[in-house]
């Protein structure tokens, strides 16, 4: 079920396009590597929010739309370290910094369960 809440874009309200609910993920960082075959850039970025389908993180490096990256992170209280490929879906720059939204590739069952449990816990709070 979609959580279609309106957002603001360029001063106008537009419908939310995400299929999964995103929840904040404070005090967690993600290690970001460019995908195989690209230069070996790496950075550790603070995570802003996460859903079962993707995440938003604050970045220092520049990423291109549709670029593939490799991510490593662990949800709070999770028992599984998550390593997955992801596709850069969007990015934007604001007064708070540069933000990158990624869509996860195929997650294994333990990784999906760990993220789903975290999202559920955050929704219950």
Q: Which CATH architecture has domain 21-124?
A: Beta Barrel (2.40)
CB atoms within 10 A of CB 122: 17
Distances (CA, A) of 16 to 63, 78, 112: 23, 28, 23
Output the pLDDT for position 37.
55
Domain range summary for the chain, segments of one domain joined by +: 21-124
| Cβ partners under 8 Å of residue 44, min gap 6 | 29, 30, 31, 32
Output the pLDDT for position 11.
40
Per-residue pLDDT of the chain (125 residues; tens, 9 = 90+): 333 333 333 444 334 455 678 887 776 788 888 766 555 678 899 999 999 999 999 999 889 999 989 899 988 887 789 999 999 999 999 999 999 999 999 999 999 999 999 999 988 87
Output the pLDDT for position 6.
36
Q: How far apart are CA 76 and CA 80, in angstroms?
A: 10
């Amino acid at each position: 079920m979609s959580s279609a809440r309106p957002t603001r874009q360029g001063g106008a309200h537009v419908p939310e396009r995400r299929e999964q609910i995103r929840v904040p993920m404070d005090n967690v960082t993600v290690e970001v590597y460019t995908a195989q075959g690209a230069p070996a850039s790496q950075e550790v970025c603070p995570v802003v929010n996460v859903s079962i389908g993707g995440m938003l993180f604050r970045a220092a490096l520049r990423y291109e739309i549709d670029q593939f990256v490799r991510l490593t992170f662990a949800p709070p209280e999770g028992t599984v370290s998550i390593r997955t490929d992801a596709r850069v879906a969007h990015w934007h720059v604001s007064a708070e910094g540069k933000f990158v939204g990624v869509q996860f590739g195929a997650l294994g069952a333990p990784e999906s369960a760990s993220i789903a449990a975290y999202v559920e816990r955050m929704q219950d709070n």
